[in-house]
Amino acid sequence: MATSHDASMGDWFAVQVWSGREHLSARHLAQRGYEVFLPHYREQRRWSDRLKVVERALFAGYVFCRFSPEIVGRIVTAPGVLRIVGDGTGPSPIPLHEIEAIQRIVAARLAAEPSGVPRAGQRVRIEDGPLRGIDGIVQVVKNQQRLVVAVSLLQRAVSVEIDPRWISVSAPSADCEARAARGCPEEATPDARRIHPASASGYAARGR
């Protein structure tokens, strides 16, 4: 069994789990000694006689786990784990700056929700406020400016409401230009769900 020290020395990976049971899988991985990050948001759902606020994973069906590639076999035997996202050669690590950006959004407790990766939009850098230093795509949704931050490996993103005074236009990175040349997937169509105005939060654990 890996210790928390071993886990902290590895890269971050996306672990696919049973959708709707992300918390259970995250708990099992943490109990095995791995560093786990499960960002979530609060959503308002209508029941027959009332409205109920529930917590849902920002990346449905995935948890993020930090470990060394050599111990992949121990990860996939955890209850609820389906696979570790990668290519034909093995698991693919997630760039640290992408994980840190999501962690910053969670820590700031801003109103965030799942998003598709936008096909177009102005690339900006946050120069002020709790997300200072983060790059992303800014879009206007219902007269609100929202910053979209993607996890490229999953082709999924998080959208968070921001103050327009926080942003400045930034030059596109080499990675962004390369992705634009290949073409980005279409943005997910918003559904009829109402996102609760409460902020995003996250489960971050390090097993002992």
Residue 195 in this model has a pLDDT that exceeds 70: no
Q: What is the DSSP letter of 132?
A: T
CA distances from 2 to 9, 10, 84 (A): 11, 11, 17
CATH 2.30.30 fits 111-194, yes or no: yes
pTM: 0.75
Q: 111: which residues sit within 8 A by CB, 6+ positions away?
A: 160, 161, 195, 197, 198, 199, 200
Task: Specify the residue for token string 């996202």.
Answer: 85
Class of domain 4-95+199-206: alpha beta
Please write the tens of the pLDDT for every residue from 111-162. 899 998 887 778 899 999 999 999 999 988 878 889 999 999 999 999 999 9
pLDDT band for position 208 (cuts 50, 70, 90): very low
Q: Give the Cα-Cα-Cα angle 183, 186, 192 (nearest 5 degrees).
A: 170
Question: Mean pLDDT lowest for which of 70-74, 196-200, 202-206?
Answer: 196-200
CA–CA gap between residue 25 and residue 22 (Å, rounded): 5
Domain range list for the chain: 4-95+199-206, 111-194
Please write the tens of the pLDDT for every residue from 25-62. 999 999 999 999 999 998 877 777 778 778 899 999 99
